[in-house]
A and B are shown apart, each in its own frame.
Chain A
Amino acid sequence: MPNMRADKNPMPMQDPEERIHNFGEVTLGYSEEAAIDEAQRCLHCKNAPCMAGCPVNVPIPDFIERVKAGDADGALAVIRAQNALPAVCGRVCPQETQCESRCVRGIKGESVAIGRLERWAADHATGKAAATAPTEKNGKRAAIVGSGPASLTCAGELASAGWDVTVYEALHTPGGVLMYGIPEFRLPKDLVRSEIDKVRAMGVKIETNTVVGRTVDVEELLRDADAVFLGSGAGLPNFQGIPGESLCGVYSANEFLTRINLMKAYTFPRYDTPIRVDGRAVIIGGGNVAMDAARCARRMGAEVTIVYRRSMQEMPARREEIEHAMEEGVEFRLLTNPTEILGDENGFVKAIRCIRMELGEPDERGRRRPVPVPGSEEDIPAGTVIVAIGNSPNPLLRKTTADLPTDARGRVIADENGRTGMKNVYAGGDAVTGAATVILAMGAGKRAAKAIIEDHP
């Protein structure tokens, strides 16, 4: 008989008072007892509606069946057959809008905690389930641009199909947003490295310090490779274009997070890269990146305020991230939009001027459009401002690849299977969609790999 308790097993967590003083992981993961108990809540529906919510088609009831038996290795083997980065997805996927949103248990009570079970399997497997390289190569070569989730997934899929795969990464470390963007306390970097090592173990070569478009260009890659996959992400930070954005103390969320996560500036001066968080830190934006920046700033010792121009309801960040930020003492100023950043006589931020907004008519996406309330300006004292209002695709590939079709916003134009208008060139992830999620990028990488294999029999 399934366990018919209406609630999920709660996720053990570091106490907020404690965790704002460290970068250790906030959520601690299920114990074996909790995992088995949670797995018993699964009804093993014949039609498995949860699977339809998974962009990489993990056979969810099958892996949960193994968890029920306490078999982490078996569960992970089932997941790994469809998903190259289970320990990552178990942590950062928005399960509440994907698999878990389709779970029948969610109709009366809470859905099965699929993400937490995926994480348990990934964390407790002994390594026996590690993927291995196929014995036979098929002689085809692929070049993959970027080493974030879309690229790693595409690389893994192609390698298992016998392709010779080389991944090119601009930074000194592979992983893309998993390394530079998502903080340690949400996604430990040792874990990302170990997932990447497993992709390497499949025979995938990773060349770091290689900027495609500069060190080598796409045309050159096409000379040696049968197919090129562009998974270069959305790495160019957007600014609002308000006065004062170039003052000292104003960071793009990318810069702030990269200093902290990739360059380990939170350990300065042990690591050489500095960061400074002076006075109150004001974060502009309401997405997951804004929450990450806010929570990093909190851990750097700052009082933190998030300003967001719409209401809580429209906030695009995951509920869990918003709740964690609130528990950690981050202040939310909603329906508030910055109009100017004010500096002192030395060119450092001293305050941010904001105007109150109210919600007007719905926009084309159905979200009510924020409208400024005249005369409601107010200055919030701040020493640090972090702009987290989104990213655009990096222009480098577009500028250096004449035949690559892109849209007005700089995104590579590709069909749902990643085919671009350029022969043998495929693309997926944020480079195509604009900034989205890890799992959607992985889904795109996987579909592109399938298309590449189909087109190169």
Chain B
Amino acid sequence: MYRITRRKALNDDVTLMEIEAPCVAVKARPGQFIIFRIDEEGERIPLTIAGTNPEAGTVTIVFQKVGYTTRKLDTLRENDCLSDFVGPLGEPSHTEGIRRAAVIGGGLGVAIAWPQAKALHDAGAETELIVGFRNEKLIILQDELADACDRLTVMTDDGSNGRRGFVTDALRERLEAGAEYDAVIAIGPLPMMKAVCELTRPYGIRTIVSMNPVMIDGTGMCGGCRLTVGGETKFACVDGPDFDGHLVDFDEAIARGRMFKPQEREAMEKKHICNLTGEVR
């Protein structure tokens, strides 16, 4: 069993948890992910690691209440336990040699973009961080972001905080103003990562994306997480989750993401989670 040592709501939809998993905490590198399962009946769900504390033996995860399992996870409190927590999975990010970077985070992806930016910034790279949210209420980690970069831009779709527009608007402006980067790292919803890649493609800037498709085992066994990258089939779990964004077939990945949508709805309808007690009926 894996104990939740800390739980903090980052906004109405997004929650941060620290999970006691010493072996994972020691081994994890930026870009890798874990798979958790809440209980015996639970699904296996992958989440990118948002941070570690090797001394305390904890791993930080940040999740958004989007489906049945993440809603159920959100009902757990400090000192509750997860049945399973395995990792670190996937290849660590390769950020060696990057001297100037733009890190782009969208929504929940900001929880992963932030430690990536911080690692680059701490390693001495000139790091810009561009983050975007739908609106002011959904902003997360606002206080931490500024310390992780040399230049921070916050965008909201509706202009309720920061600048109005998408992260790509901010990035386009920078590129048109002549900003030069060794790499752009984009972490967020698939349409956002796709748009960033389209934007950087004509500039020939290396663009790294972090893919998070549906998977079961996370070790290469099920093949459910397969993507087409540069015309070849790749497994996000063992070949990724980071890929050269200019080679990823995003339309296919977006279509595959819809595979179990009706079942997700069915689970939400048939298995009611009480908002007050967290009880499942």
Interface residues of A (CB under 8 A from B): 170-172, 180, 208-211, 214-216, 235-237, 239, 241, 245-249, 251-252, 254-255, 258-259, 262-264, 268-276, 346-347, 394-396
Can you identify 18 A-B contacts, CB atoms within 8 angstroms?
A: A170-B217, A171-B217, A180-B217, A215-B88, A216-B23, A235-B219, A236-B220, A239-B226, A245-B226, A246-B226, A246-B228, A247-B255, A254-B221, A258-B217, A274-B260, A274-B263, A276-B262, A394-B220
Complex interface: chain A residues within 8 A of B219 (CB): 170, 211, 214, 235, 394, 396
Contact of A269 among B83, B228, B252, B270 (CB under 8 A): B270
**For chains A and B in complex, what number of residue pairs have CB atoms within 8 angstroms?**
128
CA distance A326 to B27 in the complex (A): 49
Contact with A along B159-201 (1 / 0, CB 8 A): 0000000000000000000000000000000000000000000
Whose C-beta in chain B lies nearest to the C-beta of A215? Answer: B23
CB of A246 within 8 A of CB of B24, answer no
CA distance A393 to B156 in the complex (A): 47
| A-B pairs with lowest CB-CB distance, top 8 | A347-B255, A274-B263, A255-B222, A252-B223, A209-B86, A235-B221, A172-B84, A248-B259
Whose C-beta in chain B lies nearest to the C-beta of A239? Answer: B233
CB of B220 within 8 A of CB of A255, answer no
Pick from B42, B68, B220, B227 the residue with the most CB of A within 10 Å: B220
Contact of B89 among A211, A237, A255 (CB under 8 A): A211
Assuming the contacts A251-B224, A394-B219, asked whether A274 and B267 have C-beta atoms less than 8 A apart, the reply is: yes
CB of A172 within 8 A of CB of B37, answer yes
CA distance A395 to B221 in the complex (A): 10
Complex interface: chain A residues within 8 A of B258 (CB): 248, 346-347
Contact of A246 among B88, B218, B256, B260 (CB under 8 A): B256
Complex interface: chain B residues within 8 A of A268 (CB): 263, 266-267
Smallest beta-carbon distance B199→chain A, Å: 24
Assuming the contacts A172-B83, A246-B252, A394-B219, asked whether A272 and B69 have C-beta atoms less than 8 A apart, the reply is: yes
CA distance A254 to B221 in the complex (A): 7
Whose C-beta in chain A lies nearest to the C-beta of B216? Answer: A258
Assuming the contacts A210-B23, A245-B233, A347-B258, asked whether A237 and B221 have C-beta atoms less than 8 A apart, the reply is: yes
Complex interface: chain B residues within 8 A of A396 (CB): 219-220, 238
CA distance A247 to B87 in the complex (A): 28
CB of B221 within 8 A of CB of A215, answer no
Smallest beta-carbon distance B198→chain A, Å: 20
Pick from B86, B89, B226 the residue with the most CB of A within 10 Å: B86
CA distance A216 to B270 in the complex (A): 40
CB of B271 within 8 A of CB of A269, answer yes
Contact of B255 among A236, A248, A269 (CB under 8 A): A248
CB of A276 within 8 A of CB of B223, answer no
CA distance A249 to B233 in the complex (A): 16
Complex interface: chain B residues within 8 A of A346 (CB): 255, 258
Smallest beta-carbon distance B156→chain A, Å: 31
Q: Judge whether B250 is part of the interface by a CB distance below 8 angstroms.
A: no
Whose C-beta in chain A lies nearest to the C-beta of B256? Answer: A248
CB of A170 within 8 A of CB of B259, answer no
CB of B222 within 8 A of CB of A272, answer no
CA distance A208 to B86 in the complex (A): 9
CB of A214 within 8 A of CB of B221, answer no
CA distance A194 to B122 in the complex (A): 52
Known: A269-B263, A269-B271, A276-B259. 14 other contacts (CB 8 A): A208-B84, A215-B87, A236-B223, A239-B226, A246-B226, A246-B233, A248-B258, A252-B222, A255-B222, A264-B41, A272-B69, A274-B264, A275-B263, A394-B221
